[in-house]
Chain A
Amino acid sequence: MKTYFFLGKGGVGKTTIAASFGVGISIEKRSVLVVSLDPAHNLGDAFNLPLSNKIKKISDNLSAVEVDIEKMIKEYLNELAYKMKNTYRYLTTFNLDRYFDILRHSPGIEEYAVLEAIKRFIRLKEFDTIVFDTPPTGITIRVFAMPKLSLLWTDRLIKMRRRILDRRKMVENVKGRFEAKIEEETVVLTSDEKEDDVMNELVRYRSEMEELRNFFSSEDTIVDVVTMPEELALFETKRISESLSEFKIKLRTIFLNKVIQCKKPPEGIKGKIKEQEEVLKKMGEEFRGTQIKEIPLLEHSPRGIEELKELYNNYLI
């Protein structure tokens, strides 16, 4: 399975390029799914088709979906609330709902949901290629960072958990099985790593994160950036590249979109063209190991399968 991630600021044409790419590879007889993770969904507009949270088959080899992240977040929190209400009756006296409100808005909840969505889609067996139209760069970078960060935290918590279990074992050796009475319930507090729910969850989570980390860095995961020939866009692309290398993710291709190709530029945009040339030059210097593909500023934005196919054939191959 090959996975493609298209990163880029809003307005650079990321969704169009991603969609076009998806269409293009689906022609090569691959079974492709294009996923929009961007809350500001434009994927449907690019395909000129209505898309939803359910996977829609567009052609034999091509399907598309717009993920409702907000809905996912709500579902996760509801599930958590349900799981917790059963075991935490007494916490209602502490206003459990308040805590969920805080969780709902906590930094990282969106990243978590996006990561879960990615995990869900890469497991789908019926597709051999997934193309992701990612959320705004900030979130996407944090999503890529998540495995490394999670591993750091998980290791730390595992260490601490081991210490807790170790001390429990000591008390157990003297007083026997540790039974705690929480409100009216008697709960057996185990000292065994295999029996401890928290430890099991930590270990499970850890292996999931390791898998993801390997997934993101693998050869079959291709991360591309869509950008424009402007100075600020260049800086951003640099930053993205640096962040990615921190997580050992290679930037494969830079799609330089909306390049002004004008034989006889009017006075008004001569300055812009100069800037463009400088950016092009710098980009060539700074991103030696990365492929750079230029896509000109088209007369009108491609919409619908045919136009996207044309875009692919002309500029993306």
Chain B
Amino acid sequence: MKKLSDLLGRFFGGIDEGLKEASVSLIEKELEETENVFALLTMGFLSGIPSPPTGLVLRLLPYMQREIYVMMLRSKNLDDVFAETAGTFDID
């Protein structure tokens, strides 16, 4: 009996998790992109794009762990951005 309720728990838990994922997947993608851009803007000095005054950069950097992390990951996948974007928008 316990095994059954356990199984059901996992089954419905899985559905719940799946539904939650489905309800925010696009928003999460947008969030990542914005975090990425935030990091790129702040750390523009690395890639030669216009960046904020150095003072601002120095003050923000210690708190931008997450954003820098996302930026590093994103930059690894830059050669496949088109497919990734296409995959997010389900078209059929």
Contacts and interface: CB of A to CB of B under 8 A. Distances in A.
Report A-B touching, CB under 8 Å.
yes
Interface in B49-90: 52-69, 72
Contact of A115 (B28, B52, B55, B69): B55
Given A197-B63, A201-B63, A167 B55 contact: no
B66 A189 contact: yes
A187 B69 CA distance: 12
B55 A94 contact: no
A103 B58 contact: yes
Q: Tell me whether chain B's interface is mostly helix, strand or loop, or mixed.
A: helix
A161 B34 CA distance: 9
Interface centre among B34, B37, B38, B59 (most CB of A within 10 A): B59
B58 A164 contact: no
A315 interface: no
Nearest to B31: A167
B70 to A, nearest CB: 9
A102 B61 CA distance: 14
Contacts of A153: 52-53, 56
Nearest to A108: B54
Given A168-B31, A170-B27, A205-B59, A149 B41 contact: no
Q: Tell me whether chain A's interface is mostly helix, strand or loop, or mixed.
A: helix
Given A180-B66, A182-B69, A189-B66, A103 B54 contact: yes
For this complex, into which size category does the number of interface residues on chain B fall? 20 to 34
A76 B58 contact: yes
A88 B69 CA distance: 9
Interface string A174-204: 1100001010000101000000011001100
Interface of A: 76-77, 80, 83-84, 87-88, 90-91, 94, 99, 102-103, 106-109, 111-112, 115-116, 146, 149-150, 153-154, 156-157, 160-161, 163-164, 167-168, 170-171, 174-175, 180, 182, 187, 189, 197-198, 201-202, 205
14 contacts: A77-B58, A83-B62, A99-B46, A108-B53, A112-B58, A160-B38, A163-B34, A164-B38, A167-B28, A182-B66, A182-B69, A198-B64, A201-B59, A205-B55
Given A87-B65, A149-B53, A171-B24, 16 more contacts: A80-B61, A102-B45, A102-B46, A106-B54, A112-B54, A112-B55, A115-B55, A146-B53, A153-B56, A154-B56, A160-B41, A170-B27, A174-B20, A180-B69, A182-B65, A187-B66
